[in-house]
Structure 1
Amino acid sequence: MPILYTTKATATGGGRAGHAATEDGVLDVTLTVPKALGGDGATGTNPEQLFATGYSACFLGAMRFVAGQKKIKVPDDAKVTATVGIGPRDDGTGFGIEVSLLVDLPGVERSQAEELVAAAHIVCPYSHAMRTATEVDVSLA
């Protein structure tokens, strides 16, 4: 697969309670553990929020891409809401995530909206990774 864009982000500190930033400094966040996961509820973000933000934006972009190919107008107020949950896996060996997407396409006929959503779910790289359990290269520095 030819790579068109690459970015890097680094997390430091306690992982879920620490700091993360992209190498260009555009994204620079304090990480905190939500109360539901045993944290103190301090102001900050967490990996699930970042994943939900990225997935919703990517899916909306994929939908606009597909709509452009099909000459369908996506309204300016279209939105995608990603819900990301985390919990222990049934096999007891770690944690898993659960994701759902809610797409709002005001003014688009339902059958056309369903067609766009189905096609975007094929095109979106986040959807593809979730669906195919993409392999991740993990190495030690």
Structure 2
Amino acid sequence: MNALYTAEALTTGDGRNGHARSSDGKLDLELSIPKEMGGSGVGTNPEQLFAAGYAACFHSALRMIGRQDKADVSDSAVGARVSIGNLDNGGFGLAVELEITLTNVDHATAQQLAEKAHQVCPYSNATRGNVDVTLTVTDD
């Protein structure tokens, strides 16, 4: 891979109960374990950060594919749900649901665009084979 950009971040404290900061200072936030996992839920958590990053990255890929296919993706949105849970082997795993909204194309076209975006999105390529990713295309 020929790297176009490299992001750097450092976490301090107690991992999920700590602090995260990017090398340029644009990301600077407190981390905490979600209440659902026994934590305070005061700060953000890695799953929220992953959801935001995946949604943004997939949305960019979707808009690029839309432009290539000359489809109207001007009124589009991508939401991400990232779940963490126990694996059978005693470790932890993630699952992702991406909700893709394309209001200016028919459902079949929206589904095709989403599938194409899933092939080029860097997050999709990184998770493929490791994380269950579900694409849900909505019309509203």
TM-score (norm 1): 0.88
Q: State the match for 2:115 in structure 1.
A: 118
Q: State the match for 2:134 in structure 1.
A: none
1:95 equivalent in alignment to 2:92: yes
Whether the 8 Å contact between 2:80 and 2:99 is mirrored in structure 1 is yes
Of Structure 1 and Structure 2, the greater strand share is in 2
Where do 1:16-55 residues align within 5 Å?
Answer: 16-42=16-42, 44-55=43-54
What's the offset of the Cα at 1:41?
2.7
What's the offset of the Cα at 1:132?
3.9
Q: State the match for 1:137 in structure 2.
A: none
> How far, CA to CA, are the matches of 2:41 and 2:5 in structure 1?
35
> How far, CA to CA, are the matches of 1:116 and 1:8 in structure 2?
31
Would you say how many aligned residue pairs link Structure 1 and Structure 2?
A: 131
> How far, CA to CA, are the matches of 2:83 and 2:121 in structure 1?
20
Secondary structure at the counterpart of residue 10 of structure 2: strand
> How far, CA to CA, are the matches of 1:20 and 1:41 in structure 2?
15
Q: Pick which of 82-91 and 48-57 moved more.
A: 82-91
1:49-96 CA distances to partner (integer Å, 9 max, x unpaired)?
0000000000000001111111112123x111111010111111x110
TM-score (norm 2): 0.89
Moved beyond 2 Å, runs of 4+: none
> How far, CA to CA, are the matches of 2:16 and 2:31 in structure 1?
6
Secondary structure at the counterpart of residue 109 of structure 2: helix
Q: Which runs of 5+ in 2 are unaligned?
A: 131-140
Q: Say what the alpha-carbon RMSD is for the aligned residues.
A: 1.4
> How far, CA to CA, are the matches of 2:40 and 2:2 in structure 1?
43
Whether the 8 Å contact between 2:72 and 2:104 is mirrored in structure 1 is no
Q: State the match for 2:9 in structure 1.
A: 9
Q: Which runs of 5+ in 1 are unaligned?
A: 134-141
> How far, CA to CA, are the matches of 2:99 and 2:24 in structure 1?
31
Letter of the structure 2 residue corresponding to residue 125 of structure 1: P
Secondary structure at the counterpart of residue 5 of structure 1: coil
